[in-house]
Structure 1
Amino acid sequence: MALHSPVVQVSHPIVIAENVALPAYAQGDTSVPLIRTTIGDVFDQACQKHPDRLAAVFCEENISWTFRQLNAEVTRVAANLYDLGVRSGDRVGLFMCNYSPGFLLLLAAARLGAVAAMLHPTFLAHELEYALQLTDCNVLVVQPSYKTTDCIQLLLQIMPELETSDSCQCRIAKFPFLTAVFVAECRGVGTFGNHRLCPTNWRSISGLTCFHTFVALPYSQATVAAISHLDVKPTDPICISFTSGSTGKPKAVVSSHRNQLNASYLTGRFIKTTGHMVICVPVPMYHIYGTVSSAFVVVTHGATVVFPGSLYTSKATLKTIHTHQCNVVVGVGPMYVDQMLHPAFGQTSLASLQCAVVSGSNCLPLVKTEIIRRFQLRQLLNIFGMTGDIAELDAQGYCRIIDRKKDMIIKGGENIFPGEVEQCLTEHPNIQNVAVIGVTHEWMEEEVSKA
C-alpha cells in the first residue's frame, strides 16, 4: 500500500490527463507544491506555532502531551540516543504496538537522521530474526509481551547472548550491528482482554536495558546543539516498513522524509473538517497507514492524534471518539463494521465525527454506504494505492479493482498467504495434506478457507 498515490477518492473523481491514452494513466491535482524539507524541521515549526495545543494522547497509558511537552520528550529521547552513539543512517528497531515510546522514537529518529525500522509485534522468532538481519538494526526497543506472546523469551530464542551481555554493549553473533536492546514497559503492556500475561523477569537479563531509565539520563545542551546542526536531508530515509507485498515474502520498504511528509500532507489535505484535526488512530503504527496517519500528521497539520489503545477494540475506539471529540477516524473497512455491530455503537454519541478514512484494501460499496449512513459522516475517504492489484480506470476517472496477480488473501486489510498457512498446518502430526484458499466474505472482503 502506498498512501502517497491515492487512486480512489470518494468525493473527487480523478482527472484524466489530456493527450494520454486511456486507461493507462491518471493525473491528480499538481497545483499543490510538495514539502521539500525534513520531518525534524516541520516538527520544530509545528511546535513553535502550536506550543499549547494538544499533540498526542495515549488513552491506555493515560498520557497526553501538548506540542511543547512533546518537543521536550522528543528532545530527551534524541539526546540520549545521540549520546549512545546513534547517528545518521543508523537503524532503530521498534518492536511494539501503539505505545508512547514508539511514537517518541519515531520523531527522535527523524531529528537525528536515523531510520526507524517498524517491526511487527506479530512476528514469530524466525520472522523477527529475518527482519533484524535484513535491516541491520543498531538499537532495538521492545515491549515485554504481545497478547499471549512473551516477547522476552522470543528475543532469547534468537539472541541467547543477551543473558551474558553487558547493558548497551551487546555482542550478538547473528546481529553484529546490534549494540543495545531496550525494554519499554508501559501501562497496559501484557494485557489482552481479561488475561494478563506475566512475561519473563527481563530485569534479571544483563543485556536488556530499561528504556525509561535510559531516556531519563541527564544530557547536555551541547548535545542538543550538536543535534540541531546535523545535516539531515529530505531524501534521507526515515523509516523501514514491512509489507507482505504480492509474492508472499515480507519486504522491507524504505521511505524518505520527503515521501512520508508529503504522504501525510496530501492525505491531510483531502480531509475536510471544521477546526483543527483531532484524529482517532486505532490502526497500528507499525503499518505504513498508521505511521502516516499518526506521528507525521501531527507534524504536517498540527493535528491532535488520539490512540484508543495498544491493540484495536471497537469499544475503545467508540469511547475515544466520544470522549476526545475526534472529528476524524482512520481504519480499514472491517474495523468500521465491527464498530457498527458493537452494542455501544448506538449508545455512544459520535456527533463530533466528520470524516472517516478507509485504507488497507478496497472498501466494498455496501460497507462504504453503511459507514457514511450510520456514522452520519460529511466525508469518507477511501485511499487505496499501489498494491499490485489489477484495476480498470474508466473515462470518468474512477478506478475499479478487479483482480490480483497472486493468490494472496486479503482479510480486513491484512495480507494472508496460503503457502504460509499451509506450511504451518502441515506441521501438525494429524494433518497429512492441506490446501488453503480464500472465499468471499460479506464484510471482511475475504476469509480463509481450507480443504
Structure 2
Amino acid sequence: MEVHVSVAPSHASGSTGVPLLDETIGDNLDRTVRRFPDRDALVDVAAGRRWTYAELAADVDVLALGLLDLGITAGDRVGIWAPNRAEWTLVQYATAKIGAILVTVNPAYRSHELEYVLNQSGIRLLVAAAGFKGSDYAAMIEEVRPRCADLEFTVLLDGPLWDSLRERGAQGDPADLARAAAALDPGDPVNIQYTSGTTGFPKGATLSHRNILNNGFFVGELCGYTERDRVCVPVPFYHCFGMVMGALACTSHGAAMVIPAPAFDPAATLAAVEAEACTSLYGVPTMFIAELAAPGFDGYDLSSLRTGIMAGSPCPVEVMNEVIERMGMAEVSICYGMTETSPVSTQTRVDDSVERRVSTVGRVGPHLEVKVVDPETGATVPRGTPGELCTRGYSVMLGYWGEPQKTAEAVDGEGWMHTGDLAVMDADGYLAITGRIKDMVIRGGENLYPREIEEFLHGHPDVLDVQVIGVPDAKYGEELMAWVRMREGAEPLTAETVRAYCSGRLAHFKIPRYVHVVDEFPMTVTGKIRKVEMREAAARLLESM
C-alpha cells in the first residue's frame, strides 16, 4: 500500500498578540518622552554630546518649527546628505513631525547620482554636511543646483543657515507644530530611500510612518529592548538599518542610541561600547569581522553587551560563534529584509539555538506573512523546496516614488513583495536564504548556490572572508571563482590549494576553478557585497589571462 505524506506549503504568518502601533512617528516619540524624560536618548560620541529624551524632543521641536517657518509643509521632500551624526537624527524626527518626506541620500554619491535623486524625488530643501572623507558635498551641490528646478533651499550643517533655521524655530509658536502634527495620518509617506541599483538608476522606495515605525518597534521587541538598553549604531543612518532598526527601535522603547563615529571604525565602535556600557551592537558581518580583528580587541571591556543585530548579508558560522563567545552577545539576532519592506521581514528569536542563527534568518515577524514560490509559476512550493521569497503585510512600501510600472513589477496584485531572493522554509517555518535568483550559478546544468560554497571555504584556517561568483565558461556556460581575503601572515591560496582542501569533501562541480586573492571586496556603503561588480572585474581578469 502506497502512503502519501503531505508536506505543508512554504507559507507562514507572524504573531498578532502585540497590536500594531497606529500612530505617527512624532506622536510615538512624544509618548516615549512623557514616559522617560530624563533617560538618555542620543549620544554622539565623536562630538562629545548627549541628549535626554526631554532634551531631544525640545531640539526636534525647535527644528520642526524652523522648517515650518521656512515654508516646508506636509508632503514636501527634504533631503539629508551627511554621515552619521546627531543632526541627522534631529532632521529625521523634525521632518516626521511636520509630515515632510525625508529623502536619505547615500554619503558615497557623487554629483551625477545626487542630481538624479534631487530631481527624481523633487527635493525642496537639502540639508547636507559640507563634506566628508574627501568628498566636497558643498561643491557638488553647487555644480548640480542649476539643473535641479525643485531645489529651493540648501542648508549646510555647522553653517550659518543651520544656526538660523534653529534660531527661527526657537521663536516659533508650538501651536503651529501641534496643528501640523494633528493633520497627519500614519499611512502618510515619511521617507524615500533609494535602493542600491545594480542596474540602471536606483529606485526610491517610499515608506510610511506605519511602515517604518512598526518595523523598528517590532525589531526592538524581538531583541527584548526596554528603556534600560543602550544600542550602539555604527551602521549608516541613510539606510533602514540605521534609521529604522537603530533610531526607531530605540525611540519606540525609550532606549538610548549611541553613535560611535561618523562612519564605521572598528576601534571607535569597540571604545563606544565600553565607554557607554552598550547592551546591543549592530553591524553587517564584515563589520563584526573587522571588530574581532581589531588591534587590542581583548583589551576592550564589552561585558555590558547582551544582544545586537547582524544583517545585510549571510553570517559565516565561525563569525557568529566568535561574536557570541568573544563579544558576549549571547542573544545576537539575525535579521533579513530589504528597503522595500521597511526593512525586516524575518528575525531569529532570543531563545533560538546558535545553529538556527547561523543556518537561517529566523521566522516571520509579527503581523507579517511570508511565502516561498516557484519563480516561474508563482505557485507556493512545499516546505524544504527552494524558491523565491515573498513578503506581505504592514511593512510593504507604498511604492517606488514616481514609478508605478516598477512598483507593479515588484509588488503583485495581492500585495506580495517579490524579493528576488532564493529561500527554503523548513518544517518549523525558519527560512534559509540560499542566494539571489540572479547570483545562482548554472554550471553544466547544475544549479549552484554560492552561499553553500562560501560557508565551506570559511572553514579554511587561513581564510578571513570569501565570496563565490559565477564567471563565463565556454564549456560549462559558467564556472566558479572564489574571491578570498587572507588572514594576516597567511600564504595566499591558489586554485590548486583550494582544490586540495575541497577534494573529497565537496562535490567536484562545486569546487571553484579560479581563486582570486584580494584585500577588500567591492561593497555598497551599507556593507553589502557588490557581486555584479565582482563578476565584471572577474570577466576582465579572465580575458587578460
| CA apart distance, 1:248 | 5.4
Matches of residues 128-167 of structure 1 in structure 2 within 5 Å?
128-159=114-145
Contact 2:69 2:168 in 1 (8 A): no
Of 216, 221, 229 in structure 1, the residue corresponding to residue 167 of structure 2 is 216
Task: Report the equivalent of 1:176.
Answer: 149
Q: Runs of 5+ in structure 2 lacking a partner?
A: 1-5, 339-418, 441-449, 455-463, 471-479, 487-520, 522-527
Tell me whether 1:288 sits opposite 2:240 in the alignment: yes
Kindly provide the CA deviation profile for residues 59-112 of structure 1, in whole angstroms up to 9, marking residues without a partner as x.
111111111111110111000100110100011100011012211010001100
Q: Look up the match of 2:515.
A: none
Q: 2:131, 2:279 → 1: CA distance?
A: 32
Residues 1:53 and 2:53 aligned together? no
TM-score (ref. length: structure 1)? 0.78
Alpha-carbon separation, structure 1, partners of 2:226 and 2:130: 40
Q: 2:423 aligns with which of 391, 416, 429?
A: 391
The change in CA–CA distance for 1:37 and 1:129 in structure 2 (over 3 A counts) is: same
1:227 to 170, 174, 177: 177
Aligned partner letter, 2:122: D
* Displacement after TM superposition at 1:220 (Å): 4.1
Distance 1:47 1:290 in 2: 21
User: What amino acid does structure 2 have at the position aligned with 1:400?
Assistant: A
Identify unmatched segments of 5+ residues in structure 1.
1-19, 160-171, 186-202, 204-208, 419-436
Aligned to 1:348: 300
Q: Which has the higher mean CA deviation after the structures are superposed, 341-350 or 391-400?
A: 391-400
Shift of 1:154: 1.4
Counterpart mapping for 1:399-414 below 5 A? 399-407=431-439
In 2, are the aligned partners of 1:39 and 1:299 still within 8 Å (CA)? Answer: no
Change (3 A) 1:153 1:45: same
Distance, in Å, in 1 between the alignment partners of 2:241 and 2:108 is 17
Task: Choose from 280, 287, 291 the match for 1:339.
Answer: 291
Stretch deviating more after TM superposition (366-375 or 317-326): 366-375
1:119–1:128 contact (8 Å) kept in structure 2: yes
Contact 1:293 1:330 in 2 (8 A): no
SS of the counterpart of 1:145? coil
Partner of 2:249: 297
CA distance in 1: counterparts of 2:227 and 2:115, whole angstroms = 45
Task: Note the C-alpha offset of 1:405.
Answer: 2.1
Shift in CA distance, 151/393, structure 1 to aligned 2, threshold 3 Å = same
Could you say if the C-alpha distance between residues 142 and 330 of structure 1 is closer, same or farther in structure 2, counting changes exceeding 3 Å?
Answer: same
- Are positions 1:313 and 2:253 aligned together? no
Give the letter aligned to residue 62 of structure 2.
Answer: R
2:423 partner amino acid: A
The code of the aligned residue for 2:221 comes to R
Asked whether the equivalents of residues 281 and 293 of structure 1 are also in contact (C-alpha less than 8 Å), the reply is: no
Structure 1 residue 347: Cα displacement: 0.5
Bigger mean CA offset, 394-403 vs 115-124: 394-403
Structure showing greater relative contact order (alpha-carbon pairs closer than 8 Å, 6 or more residues apart): 1
Q: Residue 91 of structure 1 corresponds to which residue in structure 2? A: 77
2:212 alignment partner, SS class? helix
Amino acid in structure 1 at the alignment position of 2:154:
V
Partner AA of 2:337 in structure 1: G
Corresponding residue of 1:429: none
Percent identity between matched residues is 32
8 Å Cα contact 1:272/1:379 also seen in 2: no
Greater CA drift, 264-273 or 89-98: 264-273
Match of 1:327 in 2: 279
How far, CA to CA, are the matches of 1:96 and 1:325 in structure 2?
Answer: 26
Q: CA shift at 1:367, angstroms?
A: 1.9
Q: Please give the per-residue CA displacement for 1:205-247, whole angstroms capped at 9, x wherever unaligned.
A: xxxx63123212354453x202102211000111111212565
TM-score, reference length from structure 2: 0.65
Letter in 2 for 1:36: D
Give secondary structure in 1 for the equivalent of 2:64.
Answer: helix
Q: Please tell me the residue identity of whatever aligns with 1:378.
A: A
Compare CA radii of gyration and give the structure with the larger one: 2
Distance in 1 separating the partners of 2:239 and 2:117: 15
Cα contact 1:237–1:256 (8 A) shared by 2 = yes
**Kept after mapping to 1: 8 A contact 2:44/2:50:** yes
The aligned counterpart of 1:376 is: 328
Q: Give the aligned partner of residue 362 of structure 1.
A: 314
Q: Closer, same or farther in 2 for the Cα pair 1:126/1:299, shift >3 Å?
A: same
CA drift at 1:275:
6.4
* CA–CA separation in structure 2 for the residues paired with 1:249 and 1:26: 34
The alpha carbon displacement at 1:175 in A equals 2.0
What CA distance in whole angstroms lies between the structure 1 residues aligned with 2:266 and 2:282? Answer: 12
CA contact (8 A) 1:332 1:359 kept: yes
State the AA in 2 paired with 1:228: A
Tell me the amino acid that sits aligned with residue 137 of structure 1: I
Name the structure 1 match of 2:209: 257
Secondary structure, aligned partner of 1:141? strand
AA of the residue aligned to 2:431: C
Relative distance call for 1:23 and 1:289 in structure 2 (3 A) is farther
Residues 158/49 of structure 1: CA separation in 2 closer, same or farther (3 Å cut): same
Does the 8 A contact of 2:74 with 2:99 survive in 1?
A: yes
Answer whether contact 1:246 1:388 (CA < 8 A) is retained.
Answer: no
Q: Alignment RMSD, CA only? A: 3.1
Which residue identity does 1:180 align to in structure 2? F
Q: Distance in 2 between matches of 1:213 and 1:399?
A: 51
Q: Are positions 1:111 and 2:97 aligned together?
A: yes
